[in-house]
Every structure is written in C-alpha cells, then in structure tokens.
Amino acid sequence: MFFGEVKTKDSENGILSTSLLLDENGLKIKIKKGTLINKKIINLLLENKIKYITCAKLEKNDVDENLAVHKISKQLINKKNSNLKLSTASQGRCNILSKINGLLKFDPQQLLSVNSITDEIGVATLKPYSLIKKDQTVASIKAIPFGINKNILQKIEKVSIECLQILPFQNMNVHLIQTKNINTPEKILKKTVLVTKKRLLTLNLKNFVDKICDHSVKSLSKNIQSSIEEGANIILVFGVSAICDINDIIPQSLRNNNGNVVRLGMPVEPGNLMLLGQIKNSNKIIPFIGMPGCARSQKENGVDWILWRLFCDLDVCNEEINEMGNGGLL
C-alpha cells in the first residue's frame, strides 16, 4: 500500500488520510478521513487552494480496511449458535455484539495468536467469562492502515476460526438452605432470601426454593437430602458463620449426601470463604456451594463468577478457580 503526499490533481482513487473542512459556495463541507477521493473532491480541493494532499492508495494485493475487519470478525464468530452478530464496518472498525444475555467464552491463547500475527490488526475483547447483556459489544476489530495485505488476512483467518461465542443461561431449579441458631436475626434470613433470588433472576432462574434449618450436621444433611429428592439443579447453603475447616458442618453434611468437596476457598475477594462441591445423584451431578457471608449482599463477589458458569452448564474445576485470582480483587 502506498501512503504519502501527492499532488491533488493526481490523487484520484486515493484514500483521504485526515478529515478536512472545505468551503463550497460559501458553505462549510466536511470530508471525512477514509473517504475515497474522486474527481469532484479533487476539484473541491483545488478550489480551496490545496495543491498537495496526503493519502493512501491500495495496491494489487491489498484489501480495503472495512472489508478486511468484516472478514476477520465474521471468522471469529463462524460457529453454529455463537449467539453473536456484526456491526457495519466503518472507518476500519467492526464490532461484535451479543444477540442474547449470557456468558462470553473464548480461549485467550487463540486471541493472542490472532493479535500476534501483525500489528496492523487489533482484536480487543471483554474478559473471558464476562457476564453479557443482549446487544452489548463484546469485541472490536480495528485495522490500523487503510488496507491489509491479502497474505496477512489469510494468516489471521486461519487462527481466528470460531474463537468467540456467547453461552446462554439454562433454566435452573435452585434450592437455598440457611442454617440458624438462637442468635440468628430473622431479618438476616429474610434479607438473604431476597438478595439471593434477585441475584439468580439476572440469570435464568426457573424455580427457587428456600429452607431454614438448625445449624447441625443432622438437620442440614436432612434438608440437603430433601432438596436432592425435589429435583434441585443447584444447592446453595448459608451457614450461621463462614466455613472455616474441611470438617465443618456444611462440608460434613455435603459428604453425608454422597457429595465431595471440589474446593474450599478461592482467590477472589470478596468471596474467599466459598466452598464448591458436587453431589452424585443417579446419572447427574448437582453443584453445591457453601456460600460466603459476602454473598448476603447484592455486591458482585467470587460466587457470582461460579454461578454464571454453572447456569451455562459448565463444570468449574480447581485450575479455573486458580485463574480467577488474576483480576480477583473486586
């Protein structure tokens, strides 16, 4: 691609490198950066005594900036049920937007591969597993020069295939169990129900059941068992106090119901004192969360990051929770 100063009279089919405000019969006319220069514009430039102009000219193997970013964007979402759509490319930029509420999923290493091919194209995204609203922009693809060489474009297209998608939230039956003792204020229990239900309604809550029981292994184990029998997809438990040991009442009650502890504690603040478990029931696994005290507040915390994934039917493993420490100070 050629880029530089040329005589105005020789600039036809060049791409204007900067916006200009010109006089046309006493009126101010703005010609935008990126405009393809034609004979009419050349005459207008000359009338304004502009004898030289800086422009770009595409060569044989160059692809126009708008076409280039559109092709790359299309490749990034070239997946059945990606739940994504493209904006109209303009001034070398194309945005990718979500068609639904859901969770953004992609491999950061794949994105790194795309951005490592050339500095002439930049692909910027929200963080993986971000909570996304319908019509929200999740990625923006920008061409730096006015044209991209076909060879570069082909290399990008090879590594950008099916990179991005939005996972939809699934219908979930969620059971909330709170334990109490003689010192537990009734208003705390009521507030926790309201806050938890509101938190889940932003996802795709189908049914919500709340229970209160004594803070004992016997009582909690019985209530967990009844929730399993009633078809809970996810079980959440708030104890009288935060879980402080793997042999505390909540993890004991989990194990009493054919459950196991996946993780006690997470590198996210607030949300450190979370327990993630699983209950094996017939042919399915029921996620189980021992809730930290901070989740009694509507403020975002580490449990939200877990819930978003569970509502998309994703397994959450130790390695993924470890990775949450990067950016985990909320």
* Largest distance between two CA atoms of the chain: 91
Domain presence at residue 261: yes
pLDDT by 10-residue block (mean), the chain, 330 residues: 95 95 93 94 95 96 96 90 95 97 95 96 97 98 97 92 94 97 95 97 95 97 98 97 94 97 96 96 94 96 97 95 96
* Sequence-ordered strand ranges (E) for 15-106: 15-16, 20-24, 27-31, 52-57, 62-64, 84-86, 93-98, 102-105
Domain presence at residue 329: no
Residue 48's Cβ-count burial label (10 Å; 0-12, 13-18, 19+) is middle
Claim to verify: residue 206 and residue 318 sit in the same structural domain: yes
Claim to verify: residue 319 and residue 183 sit in the same structural domain: yes
**Residue 109: predicted pLDDT:** 94
**Residue 80: predicted pLDDT:** 81
Q: What is the CATH number of the domain that holds 46?
A: 3.90.105.10
Residue 122's Cβ-count burial label (10 Å; 0-12, 13-18, 19+) is middle
Q: Which of 143, 167, 191 is the last residue of a domain?
A: 167
Q: Which of 109, 132, 167 is the last residue of a domain?
A: 167
Q: What distance in Å separates the CA atoms of residue 53 and residue 61, rounded to the nearest whole number?
A: 24
Claim to verify: residue 145 and residue 100 sit in the same structural domain: yes
The answer, yes or no, to whether the previous bond of 185 is cis (omega within 30 of 0) is no
What 3-state class would DSSP assign to 166? Answer: strand
From first CA to last CA, the distance across the chain in angstroms is 46
Strand-strand pairing, 147-149 and 62-64: antiparallel
Q: What distance in Å separates the CA atoms of residue 254 and residue 287, rounded to the nearest whole number?
A: 11
Residue 272's Cβ-count burial label (10 Å; 0-12, 13-18, 19+) is middle
Q: What distance in Å separates the CA atoms of residue 167 and residue 102, rounded to the nearest whole number?
A: 5
Match 């603040």 to its residue by tokens: 269
Claim to verify: residue 229 and residue 185 sit in the same structural domain: yes
Q: At 116, phi and psi to the nearest 5?
A: -85, -10
Claim to verify: residue 283 and residue 186 sit in the same structural domain: yes
- Return the half-sphere exposure (C-beta side, CA atoms, 13 A cut-off) of residue 253: 32
Q: At 288, phi and psi to the nearest 5?
A: -135, 130
Q: What distance in Å separates the CA atoms of residue 54 and residue 70, rounded to the nearest whole number?
A: 26
Tally of structural domains, the chain: 3
Q: What is the CATH number of the domain that holds 231?
A: 3.40.980.10
Claim to verify: residue 212 and residue 87 sit in the same structural domain: no
Starting from the edge strand earliest in sequence, which strands make up the sheet with 15-16, in order?
A: 2-7, 52-57, 15-16
Q: What distance in Å separates the CA atoms of residue 135 and residue 101, rounded to the nearest whole number?
A: 8
Token pair, residue 255, equals 């194990």
8 Å CB contact between 288 and 256: no
**Residue 282: predicted pLDDT:** 87
Q: What distance in Å separates the CA atoms of residue 59 and residue 21, rounded to the nearest whole number?
A: 28
Distances (CA, A) of 297 to 8, 99, 264, 301: 64, 30, 20, 9
Q: What distance in Å separates the CA atoms of residue 165 and residue 97, rounded to the nearest whole number?
A: 10
Note the pTM of the prediction, 2 decimals.
0.91
What 3-state class would DSSP assign to 47? Answer: helix
Claim to verify: residue 314 and residue 176 sit in the same structural domain: yes
- Domain carrying residue 8: 2-57
Claim to verify: residue 110 and residue 186 sit in the same structural domain: no
